[in-house]
Amino acid sequence: MTAATVEETHHVHATAGGGSPWRMLTRGGWIRAAWMTCLFGALGFGIVVLARWGGGWHPILATDPIVLVSLLVAAPLGFLAGLGAFDYWTYYALGGATRPEDHSGHGARSWKDYFRVNTDHKVIGMQYLVTTIFFFLIGGMLALLVRAELAKPGMQYFDNQTFNGLFSVHASLMIFLFIIPAFAGLANFVVPLMLGAPDMAFPRLNALSFWLLPIAGIMMVASFVVPGGAFACGWTGYVPLCSTHQPLGAVFFNQAVQWAGASSIMTALNFLVTIITMRAPGMTFWRMPLLVWANFTTSLLVVIATPFIAGSQFFSMFDHVMHTAFFDPAKGGYPLGYQHIFWFYSHPAVYIMMLPGFGIMSEVISVFSRKPVFGYRLMALSLMAIVVLGFSVWAHHMFVSGMASWLRVPMMITTLLIAVPTGIKIFSWLATMWEGKLHFNTPMLFALGFLSMFVIGGLSGVMLGAVPIDIHVSDTYFIVAHIHYVLFGGSVFTIFAGIYYWFPKMTGRMYDEKLGKLHFWLTFVGFNLTFFPMHIIGTQGMPRRVSDYAPKFADVNMFISIASFGLGASVLVFLYNMITSWRDGELAGSNPWRGMTLEWLVTSPPPVFNFDEIPQVVGSPYEYGVPGAQHAVLVPSKATEMEEVPV
Amino acid sequence: MRRGSILTLIAIGIVAGGIATAVAVLLPWLPEPASREAGRIHFVIWFVIVICIVIFAVVAAAIIYAVTHFRAAPDDLSDGPPIHGNTKLEIAWTLIPTVLVTAIAIVSAIVLSRNDAQGKDVLHVNVTAQQFAWSFSYPDAGGASSPILRLPKDRSVLLTLHAKDVIHSFWVPEFSQKEDTVPGLTTTLHITPDRLGTYAVICTELCGLGHALMRTTAVVMTPADFDKWLKSQKQASTTKG
Amino acid sequence: MTAITHDEAFGHDEHEHHGPPAAHYSSRISPGVLGMFLFIASEIMLFGSFFTAYFFVRVVNGTPWPTPPYHIPVQVATVNTFILMTSSATIHWATTAIKKGNTWGLRAGLLLTFLMGLSFLITQIFEYLRAGFNTSDGAFPTIFFCLTGLHGCHVFVGLSILLFMTIRAFRGHFSAEHHHGVEIGGIYWHFVDVMWIIVYMTVYIL
Ligand code: HEM
Ligand SMILES: [Cu+2]
Ligand SMILES: [Cu+2]
């Protein structure tokens, strides 16, 4: 089938349906979403009231359970149903004949198509990226408010509840609504292309996973307007502080994490199935680009670990709303249990936030050094090693928590060992650059920034892994410095690198290279000025998560706050560049970086179904410098000929 | 590689390492230790920092060298040499870090066990944390209690930590030792103060609105002064009771 | 690696197709089945987190099990266990039937399974109502309700799937060639049953 017919069929589907008022109300979309959200919210309210009335529990109109069931569970479900995320499944469940995929919800022809349930992985990837950058901006603004308060000792602008809410929501947004889903967005766009697949294995599930995210994000931000204020127990939500000593906002956090977690589990499952079952002919596991490997391993982590944070948030929430006794020692609960369960997810989560970035680095460094990735197999194996080891180190976050002290040394050993595969990756990237032909385009600058910053973060991680050191610096600004070196200098730099790298593929246009470089340098310098001094005040004795501090730290904190505003300003350059270049950047062509992986074989942006013929993979993805070598060729294959017939 | 470039590489490494060392030595990183445990912990910190500086220097040298020497002209469309790997190198950078982290683990484990080993004639102190205050009581002195932690110099002290409401964490930066206080659990912390002075006791676990201000002081006294103080406390508590 | 067309691989039954060229199919396992297995892996971990909570309360804290004065209604649960184990057999029967093209076997099997699952759930609800304790009555009731409740939710989801499968079976959507839905739903139901045995052993028997 030719691209033209595809376009045509689309057109027919899109305009079919007419515009009678009844259709407007019942057709999947924002109007139906509006009334179904209200309807489901009301149903949730009714169910709780009925159940409480039937069970004789007083008061019948208890705020906590009503808000939880009606606002945080039922209404979002109504929203999703209204938007049309469940349409096909409902139809199927009620016994409709199996419909062949009509692709009516696939692809985008106008900006409006980005605001509906769309099954095209490329559209979903963009939806993810724009949404996550939106929450990145909100999270960043919250961070600047935190820094404003901390510029001077004593209280300036906020009360303590607000201040604690600011850093809690900041961290939660950055982790659950920026870093994790931004990687999912990039991978959504790129992985099927790299595999030579027309889409993800379960496009409708993919669309649903995306639409869970705005729900989670709005829930976290909305907790600021809940009576009592936002949840103020840090992104870790330690109990019993978070379960029984917090206002209703804590439940918003618990539940938002569930929505975000569900989203990432479904996406990960989708990636795993796609990578296993939809590789192009010739694409063996050892020919997959490392980005695909990285998302494969990340997805394994997500599928296995994420249910644990779901569990931890259920328990904390039940303690809050149903007065259960998971973590209440007075009733026989065990407060440390929360930390074990939470970190059994959240340590793997730090790799969930890092491995996809490793994948991006391998692509970028190899392309801009014009050399094959050094030690490809060991690179893939070290990803697997990190996955396996990552499950055996969770208690390194609990060295001073009062847990059984015999656990400390074994957990220290595994923690330190995880530095080995991480080191392998760093050294291999260095060797990839060695004797290469380096081009310092913006993605490469961010890659180099990542390398240098991540080394510092990794080394401070090794320090933290050594129990005696951790005892001194745990819960101080040293930790704040460490997590920002690995998460900002690590993950965020790789996200920026990835966005710049695939920007031409996504939009068909080039970003402005000068502005890109300016963005990099502002970020790099601002980042170091902001976060490096935090190491020092941490070891000197400034604890984390405080609104006020000893006067001796005043100067450094003022310095950090000023630098942080510079860092914040650098994001404006990025935004300006993205928006203007998307509108009227130079046309990019299909392969501006002279890359070898499959996404560069198709036009920019790619055709609706990615490949008009199935690519045949013939070699490894990084054969730069090998004369005549190719990763894949596009030949009209037998399968496509077969397809020509029935239409 | 030519001799010249190896020399350049080493030179860059030395400069990078030198800068890192300067940052480590010249900036005031650690409070002056006031307990034997802190002394040992500082030893581990410096031990690991030396290793970190070496690794940092190696990586920095490689990056800087690559950036300065392998830069391609914008119109240079050629590729680099197709080197796919080097087994010896890969083994080396797997094994050397393994050895280094093993060394760190061994040193840490030794220090950890020595820091937890109690001396003779241990002084027991009960520490109770609640939102947002500390209180200390001395079972050896009939349970006399004080809002300030007073400790004798050079005597092994075992703190027994309790929390009344949520999790808090006891930390005196100069003692380096830290441990959470957990409701429903009893945790312990071992300290041997070895420098007279007054230090800040800080709560390092987010515990609610007053977390930032949940502070008190720890005073390390001469044993004679301490005994005198303890006796006066004992009398005060017996006359009261 | 064989080139199966997009439709076959993805369980689309009819053959009218326009849009992408057939996806190449790089694995012997079907995407639906693989997806279900991965989903179950995730579910096992969710149960794992609940069992971890159970471990902390019962083993680490040494909470008496059941904590007096409460009792666990073991007999009811034992009967329920038999019901659920039998339902595993009937769903198996249903899937083997449809593989041979026996649509009435499929319908009967699905219906029986559904009814047994439903009676399990109703029994469980009555058990809750008569338990004599509530979620806020301490650590033992907490764990009891949450583990059995989590499983109950899974029975509910399983029942919904069974219901949809039954509807589709009676509408004649399954045949010897196309029974993906039954197979995948069946895997989930087996999982629910196996999980119950573990919950039953840990909560009621041990
Ligand atoms: C060489 C590898 C690493 C080691 C050995 C390491 C070790 C540690 C340790 C021991 C802690 C606990 C500190 C404490 O709370 O007392 C910690 C905290 C943390 N690490 Fe790492 N880390 C490494 C890499 C990473 C990476 C790659 C990331 C994320 C991309 C990361 C993210 C974090 C975060 C977010 C925390 C703080 C959690 C909190 O809020 O308390 N780390 N790290
Ligand atoms: Cu960790
Ligand atoms: Cu505190």
CA distance B20 to A427: 20
Q: Is A575 helix (H, G, I), strand (E, B) or coil?
A: helix
Reported as half-sphere exposure (CB side, CA atoms, 13 A), residue A274 has a value of 32
**A-interface mutation test, from C2, C10, C26, C164, most A Cβ less than 10 A away:** C26
Tokens matching residue A568 = 């914040």
Instruction: For residues A460 and A464, give the distance between their C-alpha atoms in angstroms, rounded to a whole number.
Output: 6
CA of residue B181 to ligand 2 center, whole Å: 21
Q: How far is C66 from chain A (nearest CA, A)?
A: 13
Q: Using CA atoms, how far apart are residues C45 and A36, in angstroms rounded to an integer?
A: 33
Tokens of A134: 């939106």
For residue B217, the tally of other CB atoms under 10 A from its CB is 14
CA of A345 to the centre of ligand 1 (A): 13
Same domain? A286 vs A202: yes
* Last residue of one domain, picked from the residues A584, A606, A633: A584
According to DSSP H, which parts of A225-280 are helical?
241-244, 249-277
Residue C71 touches partner A, C-beta closer than 8 Å: no
Residue in A335, A402, A413 nearest the CB of B105: A413
Q: Distance between CA atoms of B85 and A434, rounded to whole angstroms?
A: 11
pLDDT band at B173 (very low <50, low <70, confident <90, very high): very high
Look up the domain containing A58 and give its range: 27-92
**What are the backbone dihedrals phi and psi of residue A51, each rounded to the nearest 5 degrees, phi first?**
-65, -40
Structural contact between residues A616 and A632, judged by C-beta atoms closer than 8 angstroms: yes
My answer on whether A228 and A319 are in the same domain is yes
Compute the distance between CA of residue C90 and CA of residue C119 in angstroms, rounded to an integer. 15
Task: Choose the mutation target among B50, B112, B198 for the interface with A, i.e. most A CBs under 10 Å.
Answer: B112
Residue identifier of the C-alpha nearest atom 8 of ligand 1: A461
Specify whether A440 is located in the same domain as A498. Answer: yes
Could you state, in order of their start, the residue ranges of all structural domains in chain B?
A: 3-70+88-116, 123-240
Which tens digits make up the pLDDT trace of A414-432?
A: 999 999 999 999 999 999 9
Distance A118 CA to ligand 3 centre (A): 47
Number of structural domains (chain C) is 1
Nearest one of C205, C204, C202 to C55, comparing CA atoms: C202
Judgement on whether residues A67 and A131 belong to the same structural domain of the protein: no
Average pLDDT over residues B117-133: 92
User: What pLDDT does A438 receive?
Assistant: 94
CATH of the domain at A462: 1.20.210.10
A83/A222 same-domain check: no
Same-domain status, A488 and A383? yes
Cβ-based contacts under 8 A for chains A and B: 260
- Sign of dihedral through CA atoms C11, A205, A107, A281? negative
Could you tell me the CATH number of the domain that includes residue C185? Answer: 1.20.120.80
Q: Determine whether domain B123-240 maps to CATH 1.10.15.40.
A: no
Q: Are B220 and B149 in contact (CB under 8 A)?
A: no
* Three-state DSSP state, B219: strand
Which residues partner with B144 through β-bridges?
Answer: B138
Neighbors of chain A with 3 or more C-beta pairs under 8 Å: B, C
Host H or E run for residue A172: helix A160-172
What is the residue whose two structure tokens read 């009344």? B164
Q: Block means of pLDDT (10 residues each) for chain A, length 647 residues?
A: 38 50 85 94 94 84 90 94 90 81 78 89 95 96 95 88 93 96 96 93 94 95 88 91 89 95 96 95 94 96 95 94 90 92 94 96 95 94 94 94 92 94 95 93 96 95 95 96 95 96 95 95 96 95 93 94 95 96 91 93 90 87 89 68 38
Q: In sequence order, which residues have a C-beta less than 8 Å from that of residue A346 and are 6 or more positions away? A: A236, A309, A394, A397
**Under 8 Å between Cβ of B146 and B136:** yes
Distances in whole angstroms, Cα of residue A381 to Cα of each of A245, A296, A303, A389: 45, 12, 19, 12
Quick check: C26 and A283 CB within 8 A? Answer: yes
Residue B215: other Cβ atoms inside 10 A:
16
Is the CB of A349 within 6 Å of ligand 1? no
pLDDT confidence bin for B71, thresholds 50/70/90: very high
* Set of chain A residues whose Cβ sits within 8 Å of the Cβ of B102: 416
Separation of CA A394 and ligand 2 centre (Å): 6
User: pLDDT value at position C119?
Assistant: 95
Number of structural domains chain A divides into: 2
For residue C10, whether the previous peptide bond is cis, meaning omega lies within 30 degrees of 0, is no
Please answer yes or no on whether A279 and C135 come within 8 Å at the CB atom. Answer: no
Q: Are residues A266 and A337 in the same domain?
A: yes
Closest residue of chain C to A4, computed from CA coordinates: C19
Give the dihedral sign, CA A101/A102/A104/A109.
positive
The two beta strands, B197-203 and B168-171, are antiparallel
Pairing of the two strands B197-203 and B215-221: antiparallel
**In the numeric block, which tokens belong to residue B10?**
């080493």
Pick from A124, A377, A321, A42: nearest CA to B87: A377
pTM above 0.80, yes or no: yes
Q: Which residues of A292-302 are buried (b: 16+ CB within 10 A; e: fewer)?
A: bbbbbbbbbbb
Those chains having 3 or more beta-carbon pairs within 8 angstroms of chain C are A
pLDDT of residue C9: 40
C-alpha dihedral, C90 to C96 to C100 to C103, nearest 10°: 30
Q: Are B217 and B149 in contact (CB under 8 A)?
A: yes
Q: What is the pLDDT of residue A1?
A: 34
* Structure tokens that stand for A220 in this block: 């976290």
* Sequence-distant (≥ 6) Cβ neighbours of residue A484 within 8 angstroms: A457, A527, A530, A531, A534
Which residue, chain included where needed, has tokens 């764990």? C143
Characterize the bridge pairing of strands B197-203 and B149-152: unpaired
> Which of the residues A5, A88, A267, A334 would you substitute to probe the C interface, choosing the one with the greatest number of C C-beta atoms within 10 Å?
A334
Q: What is the pLDDT of residue B238?
A: 67
Residue C65 touches partner A, C-beta closer than 8 Å: no
SS3 C157: helix
The reply to whether A228 and A355 lie within a common domain is yes
Alpha carbons B196 and B96: distance in angstroms, whole number: 43
- C-alpha to C-alpha distance for A32 and A24, rounded to whole angstroms: 8
Q: Does position B132 have pLDDT exceeding 70, yes or no?
A: yes
Closest CA to B108 of A398, A413, A456, A420: A413
Helix, strand, or coil here: B30?
coil
Interface check for C42 against chain A (CB to CB < 8 A): the answer is yes
In a domain, C135, yes or no: yes
Rounded Cα distance, A159 and A228, in Å: 12
The pLDDT of residue C4 is 39
Of A565, A584, A603, the residue that ends a domain is: A584
pLDDT value, residue C15 = 39
- Structural domain for C61, as ranges: 31-205
Judge if A439 and A477 occupy the same domain. yes
C145-163 pLDDT tens trace? 999 999 999 999 999 999 9
Compute the distance between CA of residue A302 and CA of residue A348 in angstroms, rounded to an integer. 8
**CA–CA dist C77, C66 (Å, integer):** 15
**Closest C-alpha residue for ligand 1 atom 36:** A483
A353 lines ligand 1 (CB under 6 A): yes
Q: Residue C82 above 70 pLDDT?
A: yes
What torsion do the CA atoms of B21, B22, B24, B30 make, to the nearest 10 degrees? 150
